[in-house]
A and B are shown apart, each in its own frame.
Chain A
């Protein structure tokens, strides 16, 4: 349901771009008075973080007398469809919370304010890798204030490791060990993984994903990676549902103790504690597996559409929400990480207090300094689907690994146009 609507939305964006070209030339970004009313739309933060967001809004309104910020929060389900519908109608809120893969199509259609142009001094306040995530690759220009970041460790199930005769204190540290241990687990009919690799996993393996405006993950290294998965799949190291599973579904399988290993986030520990206590008792935590030395990261940002009638206030508010002080506060509350250049220096992210939570947090914060958002911003939901299908064909042996990747890359390049 969600997926199909996103496609419909994407298809509509170029139309919207045309419709708005008239307004974009008249807008003088960033120079106006900071006053008047704006609307701020967030991605599923109510009701858990209601107090926090209201606090930020109050502080902003106090700092800039005469401003009113109206907050709307949208559920995560259907968020893309909602934004795309608003975009094509030219009725986007003044400040919107978007991840890079959503800001990209909007920016490409000329719908978002370019921060590199309108706020030249903002760049230095944020981490370089976070700022880059909101640029249009190859063209420059940044189209969103980086907001919160996330990266995380790998969780594994020590009990399942023990059952298969593996040392529960020696989780895999590279892809070779991952395969070896997965095959051992498979001998005891225990599955290691709940998902076929995502595009970010290819990145972690060191595969070149995108170059010269084209997807390139069918290079030899990519093929080698898929062959690794094929061997594991044949041995039964992936659960059968893995072929169609998304990240959330795979996470649920790990909590149901049907898979032995799963990438996760700092906030997952709390979830394990309440929803899967018998897993929590046996939880192992280790570093993410990567061939490049950099872990994967996810991020969210805040963009200002050109259609906003009050860009000056919107930009000021976007910058305010994502400033160091507000981000650190939010990060502590939600077990995520700030994207400001100084945010990670807070002792909260650098000192351990002996608890698992703190250990995961400090490790993840360290990891973030070099982390990369591997998923290319051009990689749309439709492309994700294409890759998933081709990988399923490869796992089932309907196609060779090379053939499946070639087909996936061709499809993605076709969708790129």
Chain B
């Protein structure tokens, strides 16, 4: 009895979390002339032509390639940069270390919208508006990732490192040979977070970019929402296309992901 109740609970949570997504998918395979807004879950005339139509309406592959480029660079810079910063904050002794950590933490609290305009002016000053570099730069080393990695490095017993120092290892060697391999899980989390963040980002690329050829997928798909006409089926198909890589990535890295979340949570 108890077991049945438990499963019932789990199933209802499953329905709540997956339901909207399934709904969107069902909408995306509905044929023309079917009710999109009325609760009518199963399409009468299922078709995948909406997906082909999305590619006809907007150059989806160009957009996806731009997004992929931006996201990949973001993953690399975040893993590398945040790991180095996190290691310095956790393990190296220098004046103002505490203060630096606090500044990193508090910068998470500033909403992006508040600094949007000034950030744009900076990019303009650097001559990076309307370039993909301009899109990548502000998010290239996220404060959240730095803190995640700092905590992960703190979890590594100090004795291990002291032993390495006695053996004559310098800071770089300790970082690359000892510290990095022990936080693989958190690195995967950081990679996933930064990929997701940059893949989903809408506002910043929109403000920075002006040429359609440079658009990322999220902005490109906004074209499906026309001023006067919009086809809900195409919008649904577009969102499914946009979210698919994220799901695949998550499934691939799932094992590391959950290990990493636990890893960062234990403080040394």
Is A61 positioned at the interface, with any CB of B under 8 Å from its CB?
no
Interface string of A67-89 (1 = CB under 8 A from B): 00000111111100110110011
Q: Which residue of A lies closest to B202 (CB)?
A: A78
Chain A residues within 8 Å of B229, by CB: 48, 267, 270-271
B130 to chain A, nearest CB (A): 10
Nearest A residue to B112 via CB reads A5
Q: Mark B107-141, 1 if CB is under 8 A from A, else 0.
A: 00001011011001100100001000000000000
Q: Mark B195-225, 1 if CB is under 8 A from A, else 0.
A: 0000000110011001110000001001101
Asked, given contacts A8-B113, A88-B121, whether A77 binds B37 with beta carbons under 8 Å apart, the answer is no
Which stretch in A134-142, A195-203, A252-260, A283-291 binds the other chain?
A252-260
Report how many residues on chain B are interfacial, defined by Cβ distance under 8 Å.
37
Instruction: State the Cβ distance, B132 to closest chain A Cβ, in Å.
Output: 17
Q: Considering only CB atoms, which chain A residue lies closest to B206 in the complex?
A: A78
Stretch at the interface among A226-234, A274-282, A348-356: A274-282
Residues of B within 8 A of A257 (CB): 37-38
Q: Is the CB of A8 within 8 A of B58?
A: no
Q: Is B227 among interface residues, defined by CB-CB distance under 8 A?
A: yes
Q: Are B117 and A335 in contact (CB under 8 A)?
A: no
Kindly state the separation between the CA atoms of A46 and B229 in the bound complex, as whole angstroms.
11
Give the dominant DSSP class at B's interface.
loop
Of listed B32, B57, B113, B222, residue having the most chain A CB within 10 A: B113
Shortest CB-to-CB span from B123 to chain A, Å, is: 9
Q: Does A221 contact B (CB under 8 A)?
A: no
Contacts of A48 in B (CB 8 A): 226-229
Contact between chains at A9 and B117 (CB < 8 Å): yes
Is B34 an interface residue when CB atoms closer than 8 A count as contact? yes
Query: Out of B36, B206, B222, B226, which one reaches A275, CB within 8 Å?
Result: B36
Quick check: A84 and B33 within 8 Å, CB to CB?
no
- Contact A82-B117, Cβ < 8 Å, known A277-B34, A334-B228: no
For residue B162, CB closer than 8 A to chain A, the reply is no
Of all chain B residues, the one with the shortest Cβ separation from A272 is: B37
Considering the chains assembled together, what is the distance between the CA atoms of A385 and B251 in angstroms? Answer: 40
B232 contacts partner chain A, Cβ-Cβ < 8 Å: yes
The reply to whether A278 and B38 form a contact with Cβ atoms under 8 Å apart is yes
Chain A contacts of B207 at CB under 8 A?
78, 81-82, 85
What is the bound-complex CA distance between A46 and B220, given in angstroms? 10
- A349: shortest Cβ distance to chain B, in Å? 17
In the complex, the answer to whether B212 meets A277 with C-beta atoms within 8 Å is no
Question: Do A45 and B116 have beta carbons less than 8 Å apart?
Answer: no
Q: A1-B203, A271-B229 are in contact. Are A81 and B223 (CB under 8 A)?
A: no
Interface string of A85-101 (1 = CB under 8 A from B): 10011010000000000
User: Nearest-CB distance from B12 to chain A (Å)?
Assistant: 22
20 cross-chain CB contacts under 8 A: A1-B202, A1-B203, A5-B113, A8-B113, A8-B116, A44-B222, A44-B223, A44-B225, A46-B223, A47-B57, A73-B212, A81-B206, A81-B207, A85-B117, A255-B36, A267-B228, A271-B230, A274-B33, A275-B232, A276-B37
